[in-house]
A = this chain, B = another copy of it.
Amino acid sequence: MTRQRTGGRQGRAAKRKNQAASHFDAAWRQIKNPYPPIEQFSVDEIEAIHQASLTVLCEIGIKVLSPEAREIYVSAGMTEAEDQVIRFGPDLLLDLIAQAPSEFTLRSRNRTRDLRIGGNNVALGTAGGTPNFSSLQNPRHPGTQADFDNIMRVAQSFDVIHMAGVPVEPQDIPPNLRHYHTVRSAITLTDKISGVFFRGRHVVADSYEMLRIAHGLSPEEFVNTPLSLSVANSNSPLQLDHLMCAGIIDAARAGQMMILTPFTLAGAMAPVTIPGALVMQNAEALAGLALSQIVRPGVPVCYGSFTSNVDMKTGAPAFGTPEYVRAAFASGQLARRYGLPLRSSGPTASNAPDAQAAYESQMSLWGALMGGANIVMHAAGWLEGGLVFSAEKMILDIEVLQMFAEIFKPLAINDATLGLEAIRDVGHGGHFFGTAHTLERFETAFYSPLVSDWNNYENWAERGSVDATTRASRIFQETLAAYEPPPLDPSRLEEIDDFIARRTAEGGADITR
């Protein structure tokens, strides 16, 4: 039934053309993680990180480049020290953080795809913000609007992707007009959660207005309906710039969700020790989240974790490392310490959609998911530490995400699943292929893979010895060929297009403020 309402024709068509066709569990659903999170540290150790980050905030403070943000902090009782530095009283800070909800709902344009954030709910999103795009057909190049559109189409086609995000920078569109095209693309090509970049007040306001129209909400309804995804990155160490402050303030005023993710790469912008990097991550996250809660107490936010390490030989960022995994486990403990939903990621530093990309991203994902992440960004398509969005990597990642969705499904123990009668019927040395117990279940018993080829070597070789990356490429192209857009009220689209035309005529967004 959900299938009928959410998948529509485009869903069925895409499924016919690619191997997801046979997968019984392709229908959209919110994923719930049934396992208790893995804990990296003891309660006392987490408390030591917490206390150290309070000390950082109280004694060293955060340099806040926005005068408006500094004023807001001071209005709530923080102190402004020399040189744009805000210092935080621990009690005041923790009172603000306590205002943020532990769970909330993000509204999707397709209401059956509303997302619950927090608790043991998991929402998965595409890679975001990459300047380049690559595919086997069209090697690495600056991202275009056509690339962006294609990512939206594929994101829409796979139900395991919950959030379409802002995957690639369409560099063929001028920066002051870019958000009109990307938000319109997300609205028309998907019915999933859209992303809004903190690229200045006009960009944020324009984006929210387009989403408001797309959802058919009044301005009053909009500010009480979280429906978008934005990330503010602190400028580690211990700094918040103009754009991020403006974004945090504007998202809060608009009642929209904001994730505060410090960019704490151990050894570069953060201490070389993982506990030290976590102290800094925690201090920056709490400071940014507090700004949001001063502006609008109770507005939905997420604690963002992106702590990884650099290659100490070159300074290059590394992802999916052992350090990343342990930081992800610990970040879940910290987010839960404050009753906040956790955002984590699935990144890799690999330059190709190869075995390294697969093992590093999966390390990241296990760290994120077993750390208790509620939102996993950069979960499909990310390569090169975020410098490129890869078509093949997107499909390889979707396979792994579908596997996690299957692992997380309830597994019932009852007489039927214990199968004593089937075991009795087959007896010794037989097989279960043709038993009633098997025949009743075989179509839906197991996860049916998207990319994985389980043929024996001879069959695989006969078909050309096609490797996983090449198969992924084919699936990406087939998915595009079979894609059909989700329905959108024509009057809303007209209103959006009128808005874009008007704003474009006005010169687009002023992206300097």
Chain A residues proximal to chain B, CB less than 8 Å: 22, 35, 38-41, 45, 48-49, 52, 55-56, 59-63, 85, 140, 235, 237-239, 266-276, 279-280, 309, 311-318, 321-323, 325-326, 349-360, 362-363, 366, 370, 384, 387-388, 396, 399-400, 403-404, 406-407, 409, 411-413, 416-420, 422-424, 426-433, 437-438, 441-443, 445-447, 449, 451-457, 460-461, 465, 467-469, 472
Q: Are B366 and A271 in contact (CB under 8 A)?
A: no
A34 to chain B, nearest CB (A): 9
Q: Complex formed: what's the CA distance from A203 to B431 in Å?
A: 30
Q: Complex formed: what's the CA distance from A453 to B276 in Å?
A: 26
Q: Are A457 and B41 in contact (CB under 8 A)?
A: no
Residues in B whose Cβ lies below 8 Å from that of A313 = 22
Q: Are B426 and A321 in contact (CB under 8 A)?
A: no
Q: Which of B45, B396, B422, B452 contacts A413 (CB 8 A)?
A: B45
Residues in B whose Cβ lies below 8 Å from that of A460 = 351
Q: Complex formed: what's the CA distance from A38 to B52 in Å?
A: 30
Q: Are A354 and B351 in contact (CB under 8 A)?
A: no
Residues in B whose Cβ lies below 8 Å from that of A318 = 446, 449, 452, 454
Q: Complex formed: what's the CA distance from A270 to B153 in Å?
A: 40
Q: Complex formed: what's the CA distance from A318 to B275 in Å?
A: 40
Q: Complex formed: what's the CA distance from A399 to B320 in Å?
A: 12
Q: Are A238 and B48 in contact (CB under 8 A)?
A: no
Q: A52-B420, A360-B452, A413-B41 are in contact. Are A354 and B468 (CB under 8 A)?
A: yes
Q: Are B457 and A359 in contact (CB under 8 A)?
A: no
Q: Are B445 and A359 in contact (CB under 8 A)?
A: no
Q: Complex formed: what's the CA distance from A59 to B238 in Å?
A: 68
Q: Are B424 and A322 in contact (CB under 8 A)?
A: no
A7 to chain B, nearest CB (A): 21
**Which partner residue on chain B sits nearest A235 by CB separation?**
B429
Residues in B whose Cβ lies below 8 Å from that of A430 = 237
Residues in B whose Cβ lies below 8 Å from that of A59 = 424
Q: Complex formed: what's the CA distance from A323 to B406 in Å?
A: 8
Q: Complex formed: what's the CA distance from A137 to B134 in Å?
A: 29
Q: Are B399 and A468 in contact (CB under 8 A)?
A: no
Q: Which of B352, B399, B428 contacts A465 (CB 8 A)?
A: B352
**Which partner residue on chain B sits nearest A237 by CB separation?**
B426
Q: Complex formed: what's the CA distance from A355 to B357 in Å?
A: 8
Ranked 8 nearest A-B pairs via Cβ: A276-B419, A271-B419, A63-B428, A322-B406, A358-B358, A356-B468, A355-B358, A355-B468
Instruction: Tell which of A63, A416, A438, A452 has the most Cβ of chain B within 10 Å.
Output: A452
A25 to chain B, nearest CB (A): 10
Residues in B whose Cβ lies below 8 Å from that of A469 = 354-355
A89 to chain B, nearest CB (A): 18
**Which partner residue on chain B sits nearest A442 by CB separation?**
B312
Q: Complex formed: what's the CA distance from A467 to B197 in Å?
A: 33
Q: Are B432 and A267 in contact (CB under 8 A)?
A: yes
Q: Are B272 and A56 in contact (CB under 8 A)?
A: no
Q: Are B413 and A275 in contact (CB under 8 A)?
A: yes
Given A316-B456, A318-B449, A384-B457, 20 other A-B residues pairs in contact with their CB atoms under 8 A: A41-B411, A45-B413, A239-B429, A267-B438, A267-B446, A268-B433, A270-B432, A272-B438, A274-B411, A275-B413, A276-B419, A276-B422, A276-B423, A312-B443, A312-B446, A321-B447, A352-B468, A354-B468, A355-B358, A387-B456
Q: Complex formed: what's the CA distance from A311 to B447 in Å?
A: 9
A325 to chain B, nearest CB (A): 5
Between A and B, 6 residue pairs with Cβ closer than 8 Å are A56-B423, A239-B428, A268-B432, A318-B452, A352-B465, A359-B403
Q: A272-B441, A433-B267 are in contact. Are A48 and B413 (CB under 8 A)?
A: yes
Q: Complex formed: what's the CA distance from A461 to B358 in Å?
A: 19
Q: Complex formed: what's the CA distance from A422 to B237 in Å?
A: 11
Q: Which of B35, B273, B455 contacts A38 (CB 8 A)?
A: B35
Q: Complex formed: what's the CA distance from A406 to B431 in Å?
A: 42
Q: Complex formed: what's the CA distance from A55 to B317 in Å?
A: 55
**Which partner residue on chain B sits nearest A64 by CB separation?**
B428
Q: Complex formed: what's the CA distance from A317 to B452 in Å?
A: 12
Q: Are B363 and A63 in contact (CB under 8 A)?
A: no
Residues in B whose Cβ lies below 8 Å from that of A309 = 445-446
Residues in B whose Cβ lies below 8 Å from that of A411 = 40-41, 274-275, 326
Q: Which of B41, B56, B388, B416 contacts A273 (CB 8 A)?
A: B416
**Which partner residue on chain B sits nearest A330 by CB separation?**
B411
Residues in B whose Cβ lies below 8 Å from that of A269 = 431-432
